Amino acid sequence: MSMEVRKIILVAGARPNFMKIAPLMHAIENQKTIEPILIHTGQHYDEQMSELFFKQLEIPEPHVNLEVGSASHAVQTARIMERFEKVCLEIGPAMVMVVGDVNSTIACTLVASKLGIVTAHYEAGLRSGDRSMPEEINRIVTDSICDYFFTTSKDANENLIKEGKQTDNIFLVGNLMIDTLMRLLQKATIEGLRNSEIEGLDDKYALVTLHRPSNVDHSEMLLSIMKALQKLAHHMPVIFPVHPRTRLRISDIGYRISEKQQLYLIDPIGYLEFLSLQKNATVVITDSGGIQEETTVLGIPCLTMRENTERPITVWEGTNKLVGVNDIEYEVEEILKGNGKKGKVPDLWDGKAAERIVSILIERIRW
Q: Which residues are catalytic?
A: 211
What is the C-alpha to C-alpha distance for residues 221 and 83, in angstroms, rounded to an integer? Answer: 37
Could you count the other beta carbons within 10 Å of the beta carbon of residue 116? 6
Residue 245, H or E segment = helix 244-252
Amino acid found at 6: R
What is the C-alpha to C-alpha distance for residues 214 and 137, in angstroms, rounded to an integer? Answer: 16
Rg (CA), the chain: 20
Strands 148-151, 118-122: pairing is parallel
What is the C-alpha to C-alpha distance for residues 360 and 349, in angstroms, rounded to an integer? Answer: 17
User: Do residues 267 and 245 make contact, with C-beta atoms less than 8 angstroms apart?
Assistant: no
Classify residue 359 by burial, with Cβ atoms within 10 Å: 0-12, 13-18, 19+: middle
Q: What is the separation, in whole angstroms, between the first and last Cα of the chain?
A: 18
Q: Which of 327, 268, 363, 275 is nearest to 48 (CA)?
A: 268
Could you count the other beta carbons within 10 Å of the beta carbon of residue 42? 22
Q: Is 116 left (phi over 0), alpha (psi -120 to 50) or beta?
A: left
What is the C-alpha to C-alpha distance for residues 294 and 279, in angstroms, rounded to an integer? Answer: 9
- CA atoms within 13 A of residue 280's CA, in its CB half-sphere: 23
